[in-house]
Structure 1
Amino acid sequence: MASSPSSPNAAFRQLRGGLSPREFAAAVRRAAREIGEQVSCDARYIGRVESGEIRCPNYAYERVFRHMFPGYSLGDLGFEPREAVRGRRGASSASSAPLTYQTYQSYQTDDTTHEESDVLRRAFMTGGPAAAVATTLALGAPTLAQAPPAHRVGRTEVRAVEEAVRTIRLHDDRYGADGLYQQAGQSLRTAYRLLDEGSYSQSVADDLQAGAGELAISVGWLAHDSGRFADARSYYAEALATARMAGDPALEAHAFCNAAFLARDAGRPREAVRAAQAAQQAARRLGSPRLLSLLALREAGGRAGLGDRTGCERALIRAQSLFGRGATDADPEWMSFFGEAELAGLEAQSWAALGDHRRAAEQARRAVGLQDPHFARNTALYGAELTGDLAAAGRPDEAAAAGSRVLDLLGSRVHSTRIRSMLDGAARAMRPYRREAGVADFLRRGQW
């Protein structure tokens, strides 16, 4: 029989047997790897389950526990039914039991570390907002810290969450992530507090969950682009948890899409392929060829990292074919960045990973030419890719010229750790040519 919210989970404690909480947590992590799941289980998590604090595990943990104890239901494991804990409630309900930080943090994909540090979390969430975007990122909603627990959440708050997402994307497209990372976290915290402590109708709950999930992806991307890969993984996992609990395939596809991109950048190409394939599975129901095109490019990037030239080429051909079907009303709003320039830029990255720097440079040059210069961040990104491809292809003078144009954008208009690290790699390849005037000037300007 399932435990009550305040009583210990005796059934789960009995299943642990003579193992210590730490030993049992290690067994959970091993079982997760056996079935391809990744959970951040530690002794603290086991203690929270056994105390009854966790009344129902998230889906990843449920799959792991069922693998460990075949034939056991959630009730047999001492948990309450999911619908009783996080399920849907009527419009008059004070809460729809939304995802909380304590439940969604266990979706982190790093299974070798403890759950995210509370100190780091607080430091991230309380960073000072920049004046240019502070008003929007604060969501424009009443501050729940000063509001009664039954604060009514409506369409005004939903629109504020959605507008925060749009503002982050707009400023990131133009200027890069570094200047936004801290203040964007405040908007995410407020969105989840709206879910956790507010009172709302079911239609508002659905839209608020979708908005919070998209916001988690946006914050994750800011972390990704500013070189904070561990934070990015955590926030993408939050979005995925929200998507699965809400039954939202569009949000799930987006979360997996970004997770695939991150895995590729972090040197985990096999994980990138799996995440891209999961994203494609979720996206097939959405009717957007352009989305499927982008996801095929994510798969191509992973396969290139594996050295799978044939698989990469097939994915690239599929991406081009799907892109050629044109835009539709079903294309997600967040895909506004995905045009011909991004298609060429991502193809360049795949060729570069395969070691074909000539083809990579051709596509990167095409991406620079196609990009609207108004979006300085992407112009710099494609220029940095071109710089690296030309340097690797043994064309240092051209590489220095391309890199100098990127330096013109960095600092004054664009702030992106990712772009700077790409130039760092190009500069290392150009050092043997540092006696050439153009190369010397480029290395001097970048202080390499």
Structure 2
Amino acid sequence: MVSTGAVPNPAFRRLRGQRSAGEFAAAIRRSAREIGERVACDARYIGRVESGEIRCPNYAYERVFLHMFPGMSLADLGFSPRETVRGRGTRATAGAPSPPVLHSDTDEESDVLRRVFMTSGTTALAVVPLRPGGGSAAADTVSDPHRVGEAEVSAVEKAVRRIRLLDDRHGGDGLYRGASRPLRAAYALLDSGTAAKRSTADRLHAGAGELAISVGWLAHDSGRFEDARSHYAEALATARLAGDPALEAHAFCNTSFLARDTGRPRESVRAAEAGQRAARPLGSSRLLALLALREAGGRAGLGDRSGCERAIGRARTAFGRGPCDADPEWMTFFQEAELEMLEAQCWSALGDWSRAARHADRAIRLQDPHFTRNLALYRTELTWDLARAGRAAEAATAGHRVLDLLDRVRSSRIRAMLTGATQALAPCRDAAGVREYLERYAAVSGAEVSA
């Protein structure tokens, strides 16, 4: 085994007291729900903190810990200062700036998959440094493809988590190309590996399917729609092969979203309905709420206002039941801000611009500012809705706030949306603030917008 140099965290271990790691993880999840957070804490996470593998928690865990232990700081909990983790503070003062994705805040959410498939035991799966714009030195082979154990499955699961963390902050454009390499390695394990336990095999299927969806989402967000469609179909096939309704529901959820974004609303509705059928036995109201909103988006695209309103009503009812332990880990993004945003998009598709703008504005106010990609998306939606509602000066102000974030967000989808919103504003260039916005947009994007 390669030494990680981790320093144990006895302060955090003392806080656990006589509780088992699983019991302590359950207490952390309960505390998260008290403040509206959603963390996928389990015994393995507790072990990683206590062993020192996690030197500083991500922002969601930080909020939960400070709520759970009032009056204590992260240092009191045994964590390192955020700016010192992996020497980021030193690098920042020493030389040229790194690309945005490489400036994430902690070990848990840094360097995307810097060493996501770790060399462990006799199996070297892949070592994958992801960079904006792609590029990877990964090997897609394994030295012993016939034995699959905890190390390999954990590597796949870690790949999924890190892709999601970095995507939340920076968008998919810079991550997609490199992320396809660990995906191929994961499916190579499925094709040729033999797990010692059925539970390990199930986790590997689920992990590979979730990785396919995550890579599909990076393709979706970066405008590679056919690639996204292929990855989502791959995940759906994996789900059905493994008899995994949770993975099936997730694959249908993303397929519905993609169909809506690519002008196939009827397919969007069908996929969302299929996802709801798969999800009903799982016991997650939040998952049903999201799938109902996917259906609402498809119905809005069909111009079916009454059907859209019914689906939104079901979504809000289900969402109001609150989070629970049955909610999938990947749904951490689905908070009230996202609910408001998805409803805004429905009203926008139906041409009710002012109503859409109200919901988009609520989404912005509710969104955690650390999730830069989503904040840029919500502000872009608001810009579009205000422009179409004839509120040009307000739209220009919203557009400036999107431009403030674009140097940190690499999402072709968001840039395409902003281009559409800007074109809608162009005829109003004499309104207060609009000309200045159009000039700034042209300078940032390199594209002139004509009336």
Q: Shared fold by TM > 0.5?
A: yes
Which amino acid in structure 1 is aligned with residue 159 of structure 2? A
Cα deviation digits, residues 209-266 of structure 1 (max 9, x gap): 1000000000000000111111100000000000000000000000000000000000
Question: Does the 8 Å CA contact 1:140/1:160 hold for their aligned counterparts?
Answer: no
Question: Does the 8 Å CA contact 2:145/2:189 hold for their aligned counterparts?
Answer: no
Equivalent of 2:177 in 152, 177, 182: 182
2:338 aligns with 342
Task: Return the offset for 1:437.
Answer: 4.9
2:63 aligns with none
Equivalent of 1:359 in 344, 355, 359: 355
1:419 aligns with 414
Equivalent of 1:135 in 114, 118, 124: 114
Mapped to 2, the partners of 1:150 and 1:186 lie a distance apart of 16
Task: Return the offset for 1:308.
Answer: 0.3
Mapped to 1, the partners of 2:268 and 2:115 lie a distance apart of 33
Task: Return the offset for 1:135.
Answer: 2.2
Matched, 1:251 2:247: yes
Cα deviation digits, residues 314-361 of structure 1 (max 9, x gap): 000110010000001000000000010000000000000000001000
Question: Does the 8 Å CA contact 1:400/1:438 hold for their aligned counterparts?
Answer: yes
Question: Does the 8 Å CA contact 2:113/2:163 hold for their aligned counterparts?
Answer: no
Equivalent of 2:272 in 269, 272, 276: 276
Question: Does the 8 Å CA contact 1:140/1:157 hold for their aligned counterparts?
Answer: no
Question: Does the 8 Å CA contact 1:136/1:167 hold for their aligned counterparts?
Answer: no
**Which deviates more, 149-158 or 371-380?**
149-158
Mapped to 1, the partners of 2:246 and 2:294 lie a distance apart of 16
TM alignment of 1:305-320, pairs within 5 A? 305-320=301-316
Mapped to 2, the partners of 1:428 and 1:150 lie a distance apart of 53
Task: Return the offset for 1:197.
Answer: 2.3
Cα deviation digits, residues 171-207 of structure 1 (max 9, x gap): 1111111111111111101111111222322321111
> Any gaps of 5 or more consecutive residues in structure 2?
1-100, 103-110, 127-139, 443-448
Equivalent of 2:190 in 191, 195, 202: 195
3-state SS of 2:240 partner: helix
Cα deviation digits, residues 279-308 of structure 1 (max 9, x gap): 000000100001000000000000000000
Q: Are the structure 2 counterparts of residues 180 and 147 from structure 1 closer, same or farther at C-alpha, using a change threshold of 3 Å?
A: closer
Task: Return the offset for 1:150.
Answer: 4.7
Task: Return the offset for 1:146.
Answer: 5.7
Q: Are the structure 2 counterparts of residues 373 and 353 from structure 1 closer, same or farther at C-alpha, using a change threshold of 3 Å?
A: same
Equivalent of 1:165 in 160, 164, 167: 160
Cα deviation digits, residues 15-70 of structure 1 (max 9, x gap): xxxxxxxxxxxxxxxxxxxxxxxxxxxxxxxxxxxxxxxxxxxxxxxxxxxxxxxx
Mapped to 2, the partners of 1:348 and 1:305 lie a distance apart of 13
Which amino acid in structure 2 is aligned with residue 199 of structure 1? T
Equivalent of 1:406 in 386, 402, 405: 402
Equivalent of 2:290 in 270, 291, 294: 294
Q: CA RMSD in A?
A: 1.5
**Which deviates more, 196-205 or 367-376?**
196-205
Which amino acid in structure 2 is aligned with residue 181 of structure 1? Y
TM alignment of 1:4-403, pairs within 5 A? 132-138=111-117, 140=119, 142-143=124-125, 147-148=142-143, 150-201=145-196, 202-403=198-399
Task: Return the offset for 1:160.
Answer: 0.8
Question: Does the 8 Å CA contact 1:138/1:186 hold for their aligned counterparts?
Answer: no
Which amino acid in structure 1 is aligned with residue 370 of structure 2? H
Mapped to 2, the partners of 1:147 and 1:275 lie a distance apart of 36
Q: Are the structure 2 counterparts of residues 272 and 146 from structure 1 closer, same or farther at C-alpha, using a change threshold of 3 Å?
A: closer
Which amino acid in structure 1 is aligned with residue 158 of structure 2? E
Which amino acid in structure 1 is aligned with residue 286 of structure 2? R
Mapped to 1, the partners of 2:298 and 2:346 lie a distance apart of 8
Mapped to 1, the partners of 2:362 and 2:372 lie a distance apart of 16
Task: Return the offset for 1:208.
Answer: 0.4
Question: Does the 8 Å CA contact 2:113/2:159 hold for their aligned counterparts?
Answer: no
Task: Return the offset for 1:138.
Answer: 4.1
The answer to which structure, 1 or 2, has the higher relative contact order (CA under 8 A, 6+ apart) is 1
Mapped to 1, the partners of 2:145 and 2:327 lie a distance apart of 36
Larger Rg belongs to = 1
What is the percentage of aligned positions where both structures have the same residue? 67
Cα deviation digits, residues 354-402 of structure 1 (max 9, x gap): 0000100000000000001011111101000000000000001100100
Mapped to 2, the partners of 1:329 and 1:256 lie a distance apart of 21
Question: Does the 8 Å CA contact 2:172/2:410 hold for their aligned counterparts?
Answer: yes
- Count the aligned residue pairs: 318
Q: Are the structure 2 counterparts of residues 150 and 211 from structure 1 closer, same or farther at C-alpha, using a change threshold of 3 Å?
A: closer
Which amino acid in structure 2 is aligned with residue 143 of structure 1? L
3-state SS of 1:284 partner: helix
Question: Does the 8 Å CA contact 2:206/2:247 hold for their aligned counterparts?
Answer: yes
Q: Are the structure 2 counterparts of residues 140 and 233 from structure 1 closer, same or farther at C-alpha, using a change threshold of 3 Å?
A: farther
1:429 aligns with 424
1:115 aligns with none
Which amino acid in structure 2 is aligned with residue 446 of structure 1? Y
Mapped to 2, the partners of 1:357 and 1:150 lie a distance apart of 55
1:125 aligns with none
3-state SS of 1:446 partner: helix
Question: Does the 8 Å CA contact 1:149/1:197 hold for their aligned counterparts?
Answer: no
Mapped to 2, the partners of 1:150 and 1:185 lie a distance apart of 19
3-state SS of 1:168 partner: helix
Mapped to 2, the partners of 1:155 and 1:212 lie a distance apart of 14
